[in-house]
Copies of this chain bind each other. A is one copy, B any other.
Amino acid sequence: MKKVTLLLSLLLTPFLVSAQTVKSPNGQIIVNFSLTGNGQPTYEMTYKGRAVVKPSHLGLELAKDKHASKGLRETSLMDGFQILDTKSSTFDEIWKPVWGETATIRNHYNELEVDLNQGESKRKMIIRFRVYDDGMGFRYEFPQQDSLTYFTIKEEHSQFAMAGDHTAWWLPGDYDTQEQETQESKLSQIRSRFHDAVNWDNSSVSVFSPTGVQTSLQMKSQDGLYINIHEAACIDYATMHLNLDDKNMVFESWLTPDATGMKGYMQTPCQSPWRTVMVSDDARDMLSSNLILNLNEPCKIEDTSWIHPTKYCGVWWEMIVGKSSWHYTDDFPSIKLDQIDWNSVKPNGRHAANTQKVKQYIDFAAANGLQEVLVEGWNVGWEDWANHWKRDVFDFVTPYPDFDIKYLNEYAHSKGVKILMHHETSSSVGNYERHMENAFNLMNKYGYDAVKTGYVGDIIPRGDHHFSQSMNNHYLYNVQLAAKHHIMVNGHEATRPTGLCRTWPNLVGNESARGTEYEAFGGNKPDHTVILPFTRLQGGPMDYTPGILETQLNTWSDNTSWVRTTLVGQLALYVTMYSPLQMAADLPENYAKYRDAFQFIKDVACDWDDSKYLEAEPADYITVARKAKGTNNWFVGGKCDENGHKSTLKLDFLDKGRKYDCTIYADAKNAHYQKNPKAYTITHRIVKKGDTLKLTEAPGGGFAISLIAK
């Protein structure tokens, strides 16, 4: 972490008062804290004088501790508090992320620390608020103290009282999956729409309340305020959901339990994650905000030279579509890893991760400037990996006999390419932890520097959930151990991110939402990718795996699904869906059919010195211009929903006096995500600062522009 400037002033309040106020640096956001008559912590939040969060309670309900001897520990941390002290301070710093949307990030906030004492129990708790120009965060802190050492959280009761029946873009709250379609409705309609919003076919559905939703939750008020609730720095704590009291429009935190039903095991000193509320009357501020990253700790990896943004292709889409298989043989109803002689079993003839095919992918990557090649299905165990709650499902080190791991890595390296490792765990987490270090040692031996992990299915240890405290601990353990081995991590099905990539930038991506694969499972809605940047992407980049140019899958497979964007819409995603990890997900032979369009995927950067959100409206459209890292080149992406969109793009962001080779990838006039998805135009011109481009995005379409400085 390179710290650039640090301005810190600490203003100690000399006296105690029962109500405290903290404002954002620009004064537009005001947060008030007070105690109710019975000593319950309460806060409220306004933006430009308009209520964002109405008076809302804060506190935690604790479980009875069977080892407690004095009865003290049974008291919840809900009320009975007095204010011991308050402290206000200002922080202003500019820091440089290892990779990101911008070269530098300003972390500028006013802070209020409220030191509370719970009289009867003598326990101390701190509530800390940080207020930014684009929102605020608060968290609970539990100092080390004799009267509070270990405690168990039954539930956190942090309220967020909304000021109206906002429009919300929500996912059903679920302890195990985040891969639903986003729903758009009024808050009051969540209950009636809840059942149909659940993807009951998913292998691990664990919904808990008919008004439970996930974060990041993007909302819009009737008077045009954009409000987003999420969390930051979720470490050693369960992932938070929100449960709505839909009579009063009050959200309350609802943590993910473990197998015992409990929600957190705490040892002081410790703290909760930050609970965040972003707000603006301009939707673009939701996308450009760095509030979540800023509320995370600085980078803890000293040498980050081995971490690099990456474009990659991979042996993946053909299995997703169903044309080839991850597994090697069809001959056994089930397998036991220690009882199979893989060299003697009969191959099924459809195993994709074979030496010859992987070699072709390596050649394709090398020829097109892609740095890595993901190979799924390289290792034994895929015959019965899913939906059996099987413990010893993979060993992460034994290749199938037709995957020559030594030769392929050497071949890749000779071409300047790396193979991207794959660790599907089948959610057998104990098994993965037993093998993890060996697996990383194997990666080091063969020169892999990145791994895609997967957590499909129900968790083992059985009864646990994907988003519990223990699982969040596991995901971080994985990232930290990977860092020790100089390995980057791309975690699929893991908990939705909360900005931890600032602290551990080797966490280069997560899936943690409905990705491109669902285009082969019946399709994503056309507005899906103009919602995700407002929601899922708040916490960190998503490995969305765009670039499916052959949008009709039945042209090359038996799969009757089709992609719910135009071909150009797929190109736009490389700019609108920020990630340091970008896949060219389609097959090399499909890219060969659209070489001119594929040129954009070859050209587009995946690390940036600057990003300017030019247009944005949740579920409607997003337009963003980004300046490629260390260059004067810009790339612009526009993506819209099923209604199409017209953009007037002012090239104000270009350097004055410089000319740019501009290539515009646009939907053709009659393009349409369903009826005519692959109709596109590619035009070239020379542009300069101040020029204006008029662009029309087809229904489900978009545009992509490269601006190469001359």
A interface residues with partner B (beta carbon < 8 Å): 67, 144-146, 149-150, 152, 203, 258-260, 262, 265, 267-268, 332-334, 336, 384, 387-391, 430, 433-434, 437, 460-464, 470, 473, 477
Are A336 and B433 in contact, CB atoms less than 8 angstroms apart? no
Would you call A473 and B150 a contact (CB within 8 A)? no
Which of the listed residues A67, A152, A477 has the most CB atoms from chain B within 10 Å of its own CB?
A67
**Inter-chain contact B262/A144, CB cutoff 8 Å:** no
Could you tell me if A334 and B389 are in contact, using CB atoms closer than 8 angstroms?
Answer: no
Most buried by B among A144, A267, A434, A460: A267
- Residues in B with CB closer than 8 Å to A387 are 67
Give the nearest-CB partner of A457 in chain B: B67
* A333 pairs with B390, CB closer than 8 A: no
Q: By the criterion CB–CB under 8 Å, are B149 and A334 in contact? A: yes
Please provide the 9 A-B residue pairs with the shortest distance between their CB atoms, ordered closest to farther.
Answer: A259-B259, A461-B461, A259-B463, A260-B463, A149-B334, A150-B388, A67-B387, A149-B333, A146-B333
Contact partner of A336 among B267, B332, B390, CB < 8 A?
B267
Contact residue among B146, B150, B259, B388 (Cβ-Cβ distance under 8 Å from A267): B388
CB distance from A112 to the nearest CB of B (A): 26
Distance (whole angstroms) from the CB of A19 to the closest CB of chain B: 33
The residues of B that contact A388 with a CB separation of less than 8 Å are 67, 149-150, 267
Query: Within 8 Å CB of A464, what residues of B?
Result: 259, 461
B462 to A262, Cβ gap below 8 A? yes
Q: Name A434's contact: one of B267, B268, B433 (CB within 8 Å).
A: B433
The contact sample of 7 A-B pairs, CB cut-off 8 A, is A144-B333, A149-B388, A150-B388, A150-B390, A260-B463, A267-B336, A391-B470
Cβ-defined partner of A268 (8 Å) among B145, B260, B334, B433: B334
CA distance A463 to B259 in the complex (A): 6
**Of the candidates B150, B267, B336, B433, which one forms a contact with A430 in the assembled complex, judged by CB atoms under 8 Å apart?**
B433
B-side contacts of A259, CB under 8 Å: 259-260, 461-464
Given A149-B384, A259-B259, A430-B461, 5 more A-B residue pairs with CB atoms under 8 Å apart are: A258-B463, A259-B463, A260-B462, A430-B433, A434-B477
With a cutoff of 8 Å between Cβ atoms, the chain B residues found around residue A460 in the complex are 470
A259 to B332 alpha-carbon distance, docked (Å): 30
A462 to B459, CA, bound (A): 13
**Minimum C-beta distance from A198 to chain B (A):** 15
Rounded to whole Å, the gap between the CB of A175 and the closest CB of chain B is 14
Q: Which residues of B contact A462 (CB under 8 A)?
A: 258-260, 262, 265, 470
**A67 to B268, alpha carbons, bound, how many Å?**
42
Question: Smallest distance from the beta carbon of A340 to chain B beta carbons, Å?
Answer: 12
A145-B333, A333-B146 are known contacts. Are A470 and B461 too (CB-CB below 8 A)? yes
CB of B391 within 8 A of CB of A334, answer no
Q: Give the CA-CA distance A166 to B320 in the complex, in Å.
A: 63
| Residue of A152, A268, A387, A434 ringed by the most chain B CB atoms within 10 A | A434
Q: Could you say which residues of chain B place their CB within 8 Å of the CB of A258?
A: 461-463
For A336, list chain B residues within 8 Å (CB).
267
Known A-B contacts A334-B150, A461-B259, A461-B461; the reply to A265 vs B389 at CB < 8 A is yes
Cα distance, A318 to B261, chains bound together (Å): 40
Q: How far is the CA of A146 from the CA of B336 in the complex (A)?
A: 15
Question: Distance in Å from the Cβ of A171 to the closest Cβ of chain B?
Answer: 22
CA distance A519 to B260 in the complex (A): 35
| Alpha-carbon separation in the docked complex, A86 to B260 (Å) | 45
Residues of B within 8 A of A391 (CB): 265, 470, 473
Within the complex, the shortest CB–CB distance from A368 to chain B, in Å, comes to 40
Min CB distance, A15 to chain B, in Å?
31
- CA–CA, A333 and B144, complex, Å: 8
Do residues A389 and B150 form an inter-chain contact, with CB atoms below 8 A? yes
Contacts of A473 in B (CB 8 A): 391
A587–B150 CA distance with the chains assembled, in angstroms: 35
- Minimum CB–CB distance from A257 to chain B (whole Å) comes to 10
Question: Which of chain B's residues has its CB closest to A468's CB?
Answer: B462
Question: How many Å lie between the Cα of A290 and that of B67 in the bound state?
Answer: 42
Contact A334 B144 (CB under 8 A): yes
What separation, in Å, do the CA atoms of A333 and B124 have in the docked complex?
14
In the complex, chain B residues whose CB is within 8 Å of the CB of A149: 333-334, 384, 388
Residue numbers in B under 8 Å from A267 (CB-CB): 334, 336, 388, 390
Q: How many angstroms from the CA of A127 to the CA of B333 in the assembled complex?
A: 22
Identify the closest chain B residue to A473 (Cβ).
B391
- For the complex formed, measure the closest distance between the CB of A222 and the CB atoms of chain B, giving whole angstroms: 42
Bound-state CA distance A464–B459 (Å) is 14
Chain B residues with CB under 8 A of A334: 144, 149-150, 267-268
Residues on B with beta carbons closer than 8 Å to the beta carbon of A470: 391, 430, 460-462
Q: Once the chains are docked, how many angstroms separate the CA of A258 from the CA of B333?
A: 26
Min distance, Cβ A479 to any Cβ of chain B, angstroms: 14
Which single residue of chain B is at the shortest CB-CB distance from A147? B333
| A353-B463 Cα distance, complex, nearest whole Å | 39
- Bound together, the chains give a CA A173 to CA B268 distance in angstroms of 36
- Smallest Cβ distance from A394 to chain B, in angstroms? 14
- Looking at the assembled complex, report how far the CB atom of A151 sits from the nearest CB atom of chain B, in whole angstroms: 10
Q: How far is the CB of A384 from chain B (nearest CB, A)?
A: 7
B residues in contact with A333, CB < 8 Å: 144-146, 149, 268
- Nearest chain B CB to A68 CB, angstrom units: 10
Interface centre among A333, A336, A462 (most CB of B within 10 A): A462
Which residue of chain B has its CB nearest to the CB of A339? B269
Give A430 Cβ to nearest chain B Cβ, in Å.
7
Would you give the shortest CB distance from A375 to chain B, in whole angstroms? 27
* Distance A454 CA – B461 CA, assembled complex (angstroms): 21
Note all chain B residues with C-beta closer than 8 A to A265: 389-391, 462
